[in-house]
Amino acid sequence: MNHTFSAMERKDRLVQMEKGEYDILIIGGGITGAGIALDAQTRGLRTALIEMQDFASGTSSRSTKLVHGGLRYLKQFQVKMVADVGKERAVVYENGPHVTTPEWMLLPFYKGGTFGALSTSFGLRLYDYLAGVKRNERRKMLDVNSTSAKEPLLKTNGLLGGGTYVEYRTDDARLTMEVLKKAVDAGAAAVNYTKADRLLYDNGKLVGVIAKDMTTSKEYRVHARQVVNATGPWVDQLRAKDHSKRGKTLRLTKGVHLVFDGGRFPLRQAVYFDTDDKRMVFAIPREGKTYVGTTDTDYTGDTQHPRMTEEDRSYLLAACNDMFPGIKLTEQDVESSWAGLRPLIYEEGKSPSEVSRRDEIFTSPSGMITIAGGKLTGYRKMAEQVIDLIVKRIPAGTGRSWKACVTRTLPMSGGDVGGSAAFPTFVERMTAEGQRLGLTQTEARMLSERYGSNVSSVFAHLQDGKSGLIHGMPASVHAMLAYSMEEEMTVKPVDFFIRRTGALFFDIRWVHEHKAKVIDYMAAHLNYSEEQKMAYAAELEKELRAAVTPEDREEAYDAGTSDHLAGGPAHERSGEAANPTL
């Protein structure tokens, strides 16, 4: 079993990084940094990556969770961007069918709305063409009755029809983890909770960083021939440290999503709709829940902890109740939420929704390369562009040569299932194997779908087919936790409950049910001090509170939301969770 990405060996890896000689050091462990690490290492560059928080803890775990091509950007005539990222959807799907799922999207159009029958038909047809969509996933136009039949909750007043097209739903944090794990499997060194505290120079050239372990405050010197700034919302802060923050800068915008129980908001069909102020909102069913987003507002607050506000929540509730008038959602129906930041390139005079999502590469006088902007879907192409630039800057050296980019057809970790067409058969086979080991069919299927070809390593943590509790946890929970600590560098409880499982967003009751035993297990196996254990438990409670309480109504939490700490809203606590994580 491969333990090179183990939380138990994390400090040893930092010691090794200080002793190592690297061609490239990537600062930032989101999807952009992970993609760059994979491309670099598979081309033959000795690669290191550090992340000051957990991997994917910023934008890469707080998106709309779609690998999509940006249909709305056609309105802004960003044709090349739509074409580039649209084609990448199929690449991501083939390389990681366990973290990417085709999702038919319904785009209804109404009298007086942003879209009409002609513009919808033309836009979707152009989208299919630009994205190279395969024939069985191309757009279909629907009349009024067919549109209502697709999603009965839609308002009928003014409805003129609709169009359907395919997007790809993903777990953004797990996508990031699987790409990064593949880079580590190829030989890259990656460590979380490690901050680029100070930059190291030699005659004005950036040659590395003094990296600070955020769990111990110990410092390490990490040297590299090339340093890449892939820190997302923090790129300008790192550029300022490098004294190269000039010219184009970032504009941060915030997106918020709300999660509802599927019994309260029984959406059958993913819907993409426009609001009265001409913004676009997704409503997507997922694993017994329905989530809705996103807002798009300028942001100047805490970059590390963006939060839902009461205004954000009210806006999305109003948008839902307008488009789905029969459901009459209230703030008490919100089970969870998340807020994320989009690091966009500043453009004078543009509203948040109008700013381009394109990526750009900046090279500073010190040689630091910064990649800014971009979309989740385009991570692989962004990485390819960065490494294409770097291999021109770094001579191969005696006896070394750089390979061509191979990531277009390289399965990510967990993706060795024979391609998307073979994935359902793989899931059936591994579900049967999980049942043989003592799991229920639901548990075995969930693990097989989530972990793909890595599920055998997860199953290895089951105890010889014995059912019942392991360390006070159901066998399936223990297997996921142990695997994530040994092979996904899970350091804190929040890593497990947010980035490794997504449970805090999509099954908050499950978090409450298992948090105490998870914390105890992690404390014992990762040798937390009592102070660390208390701090990490408090951090999880803060995230649970943030998921249900607007930032500007924090004081109402203690007085009025004890339901959530007891295991969710009253309508959910009356019975079993609609679709538990496992």
Task: Report the DSSP pairing between strands 205-213 and 219-229.
Answer: antiparallel
Q: Looking at residue 124, what is its pLDDT?
A: 84
Give the 3-state secondary structure of residue 456.
Answer: helix
Q: What is the pLDDT of residue 574?
A: 32
Confidence of residue 395 (pLDDT cuts 50, 70, 90): confident
Whether the per-residue pLDDT at 582 is higher than 70: the answer is no
Tell me, what's the pLDDT at 554?
61
For the stretch 409-418, pLDDT in tens is 999 999 999 9
Measured in whole angstroms, the distance separating CA 26 from the mean position of its chain's CA atoms is 19
- Among the ranges given (78-92, 167-181, 278-292), the one the predictor scored with the smallest mean pLDDT: 78-92
* Options 3.20.20.70, 1.10.8.870, 3.50.50.60, 3.40.50.300; CATH of 420-573: 1.10.8.870
Mean pLDDT of the region 275-293:
92
Quick one: pLDDT at residue 432? Answer: 97
* Intervals of CATH 3.30.9.10 along the chain: 100-169+250-345
Query: For residue 288, what pLDDT band results from cuts at 50, 70 and 90?
Result: very high
**Residue 206 tokens, joined:** 């950036």
* 34 pLDDT above the threshold of 70: yes
Under 8 Å CB-to-CB from 506, ≥6 apart: which residues? 259, 286, 287, 289, 291, 336, 581
Mean pLDDT over 491-516 rounds to 97
CATH of 100-169+250-345, one of 3.30.9.10, 3.20.20.70, 3.90.79.10, 3.30.70.20: 3.30.9.10
**Residue type present at position 50:** I
- 456 pLDDT higher than 60: yes
Q: What three-state secondary structure class fits 169?
A: strand
Range list for CATH 1.10.8.870 in the chain? 420-573
For the chain, the average pLDDT equals 89
Report the DSSP beta bridge partners of residue 558. Answer: none
Is residue 258 pLDDT above 90, yes or no? Answer: yes
Q: How does residue 544 score in pLDDT terms, banded at 50, 70 and 90?
A: very high
Residue 407: left (phi > 0), alpha (psi -120 to 50), or beta?
Answer: alpha
What is the pLDDT, as a whole number, of residue 374? 78
Indicate whether 47 pLDDT > 70.
Answer: yes
pTM of the predicted structure, to 2 decimals: 0.92
Query: Does residue 218 have a pLDDT over 90?
Result: yes
What band does 314 get if pLDDT is binned at 50, 70 and 90?
very high
Say what percent of the chain tops pLDDT 90. Answer: 71
pLDDT at 568: 42
Q: What band does 122 get if pLDDT is binned at 50, 70 and 90?
A: confident
- CB under 8 Å to 533, separation ≥6 — which residues? 519, 523
Residue 232 predicted with pLDDT over 90: yes
Residues 178/99, Cβ–Cβ less than 8 Å: yes
Is the pLDDT confidence value at 293 over 70? yes
pLDDT at 1: 38
Q: Given pLDDT bands bounded at 50, 70 and 90, which one contains residue 347?
A: low
- At 112 the pLDDT is 82
Work out the angle at residue 431's Cα, subtended by the Cα atoms of residues 425 and 433, and round it to the nearest 5 degrees. Answer: 110
* Per-residue pLDDT at 570: 34
- 167 contacts: CB under 8 Å, gap ≥ 6: 66, 67, 68, 69, 89, 102, 103, 105, 270
pLDDT number for residue 199: 98
Q: At what angle do helices 79-95 and 117-131 cross, to 10 degrees?
A: 60
Delimiting residues of CATH 3.50.50.60 domain(s) in the chain: 7-59+173-249+357-409
3-state helix vs strand vs coil in the chain, percent to 5:
45, 20, 35
The predicted pLDDT at position 425 comes to 98
**What architecture (CATH level 2) is domain 7-59+173-249+357-409?**
3-Layer(bba) Sandwich (3.50)
Q: What is the mean pLDDT of residues 207-231?
A: 97
- Of 99-113, 504-518, 568-582, the poorest mean pLDDT is in 568-582
Render pLDDT for 71-111 as a digit per residue (tens, 0 to 9). Answer: 666 666 567 777 777 788 889 999 999 999 989 999 999 98
pLDDT of residue 313: 96
Q: What pLDDT is attached to residue 133?
A: 76
- Per-residue pLDDT, 185: 97
For 44, 283, 440, the CA distances from 168, given in Å and listed in that order, are 31, 14, 28
Mean pLDDT (whole number) for 238-266: 93
Question: Residue 87's pLDDT is what?
Answer: 81
What is the rounded distance in angstroms from the CA atom of residue 28 to the CA atom of residue 269? 35
User: In the prediction, which pLDDT does 132 show?
Assistant: 75
